Structure 1
Amino acid sequence: MELAESAFGEEKYDAAIFLAEQALQFYLKALLIKYANVRLRTHSVRELLAALGKALEAEEKVVDFIRSHRSLLRELEDAYIGTRYEPRRYYREDAEELMEFVREVMDFLEVLTDEFERKSP
């Protein structure tokens, strides 16, 4: 997220959103490797979240989270594709909202992993 914050500070909002999405995507992939020794070849944050929910035995919580944040997750995934393949322009408010959401997802994941570790032998 440091690079995303830096891009945001330089008013490069497209890059900030892209980098925030990448930070989340790689964080999810790292957690999947750590907790399930799984390497998924997808860029879908929703798919990665669902797989991690299974690995952490927290499917219901993750499904509820995905459902309640569906539009922001879709927007984040669209931003990843849009900044790479289609000319799109994002504004400060867009970047603020999506970067804050990425932080929220990371906080949610921290809670899930803490709960999983506490109940694991």
Structure 2
Amino acid sequence: MKEEIKFLLKRAKSFFRDAKYDYENRDYDLAMFHIEQAIQLLIKAKLLDLKGSYERTHSIRRLLSELSDLIESNRIREFIRENKKILRDLERAYISSRYYYEEFFPDEVENAMKIYRELRDILWRE
């Protein structure tokens, strides 16, 4: 595995660790931001693994769509369809972390954590 892929996966794990800390401390907006970053890096690492590059975007849905074009299984498309709302919430968390405040609630963070784990297992099952 390329060093850059290992780096992205390690960074994703660190962002997720930070999200758990934020959640425990009731910083739900930061938790969502960190989960968004973790998911973004999981996807970018897989794109790098499969095709050697990834689109320079912060849109999780766009990155997942690109990934679904590369993987023959419908699992990624199903994942997008099943998690459309929370994926949109995560993209909002990324934008709001920089430009304005948006409130998130514990159940939204819990759902985001769940889809991080699910996506990690889909993309990086070993």
Q: Structure 2-normalised TM-score?
A: 0.76
Describe the superposition over 1:67-108 as per-residue Cα deviations: whole angstroms up to 9, x where unpaired.
Answer: 222112112212221222221122222222222222222222
Cα contact 2:32–2:93 (8 A) shared by 1: yes
In the other structure, the counterpart of 1:99 is: 113
Distance 1:108 1:98 in 2: 15
2:85 aligned partner, one-letter code: S
In the other structure, the counterpart of 1:52 is: 67
**Which 5+ residue runs of structure 1 have no aligned equivalent?**
115-121
Distance 1:36 1:57 in 2: 14
Give the root-mean-square deviation of aligned CA atoms: 1.8
Distance 1:61 1:100 in 2: 16
Q: Structure 1-normalised TM-score?
A: 0.79
Q: Percent identity?
A: 35
In the other structure, the counterpart of 2:97 is: 83
Q: Which has the larger radius of gyration?
A: 1
Distance 1:27 1:101 in 2: 12
**Which 5+ residue runs of structure 2 have no aligned equivalent?**
1-15
In the other structure, the counterpart of 1:10 is: 25
Distance 1:99 1:84 in 2: 21
